[in-house]
Structure 1
Amino acid sequence: MKKSNWATGLITTLNDPINHVISTEIGVVIKDKYPKAKHHFLVLPKDDIPSIFHLKPSHLDLLYELHLLSINVIEVTNCQRDDFKIGFHAQPSMQRLHLHVISKDFVSPCLKTKKHWNSFNTKLFVPFDDLVDNLKKNGRIEKMGIEYIKTLELTELKCNQCNYKTKTVPDLKKHLLNHLEKSESECIDYTVNKKI
């Protein structure tokens, strides 16, 4: 029962307007409760679509609207679009379709495991454009095989900004902090809710 409550947590968050960073008639943007980077947002449709595996070509317009919301929330942070990854998990763990908008720094106390890292930095993370192309071509999103998912989850830890490799998440996190400190542009924290 607890897992079910956790898996449906996005729906509870979606239904409480106090959690909305941006809200439109089509969807909402919320902050991830356990951010894996300095900036980590989720864009959810108001329509009840359980996951990427329930998408059909008729949802393409909705997906483009969700993508527009992701661009809007990036603009609010005063960061550049290139500082972010926008996409979906290939193996979603929570109910309700959600698009991740996550800064590439991956500096966060909530990033704790190899699985966390690899869920955003291997093929377990499907960029928005790739998912849309796949949906147009195949008419649906296919699930990955369990063995392939396990292989991706165990992929060697490699920096997403250079060729650095390590065996431990703490070492990777120290390395990522160096990249952040060297970064020329600093993003601001977003603290005010905005409605469009």
Structure 2
Amino acid sequence: MPPIRCAWAGDDPLYQAYHDTEWGVPEYDSRALWEKLVLDGFQAGLSWITILRKRDNFRAAFAGFDPDIIAAWGEPEIARLLADPGIIRHRGKIAATITNAQAWQRIEAQQGFDRFLWDYVDGSPLQTHRATMADVPAFTPLSTQISKDLKKAGFRFCGPTIVYAFMQACGLVNDHIVPCHRHDPLTNP
């Protein structure tokens, strides 16, 4: 009998592996959190599986998502990335990645990007215990607040829906539905 998963994981083995090993697992590394936020920004208007299939290409094109390298980029790098068929070639999202790297540097220097984010949930994942996917919202008051604070800090492509998807992916909130085989292990990570 195959394990019960959140319905969005579907039948794609890549999607199922992501669901089973990454999605909802608490991430505490500042750089990894930044990478996931950037990728969620690139996902806006697209499906996550599109980003997931291109993730290795993104990592290669964006210097392993090293924000200290990307923060110094300018028009030559934007032009290079716009010509790269392995990633999503959207000028606004590419430019936002540079701006977001600069914002990340400021937050990282002040308090740590990881702490900035995890302080919103007092350091522990929020446990939602949702019964079905229909119970999972697109955004919440908390994702709206985090979005506002990120924008105030200089981030772009981080609206409340993007931020909520990011919160789910990074384990700030456990939105695996209760019947899912990943719900209980992530209830007390």
TM-score, with structure 2 as normaliser: 0.28
> Which structure shows the bigger proportion of residues in strand conformation?
1
Where relative contact order (Cα < 8 A, 6+ residues apart) is larger, the structure is 2
> Which structure shows the bigger proportion of residues in helix conformation?
2
TM-score, with structure 1 as normaliser: 0.27
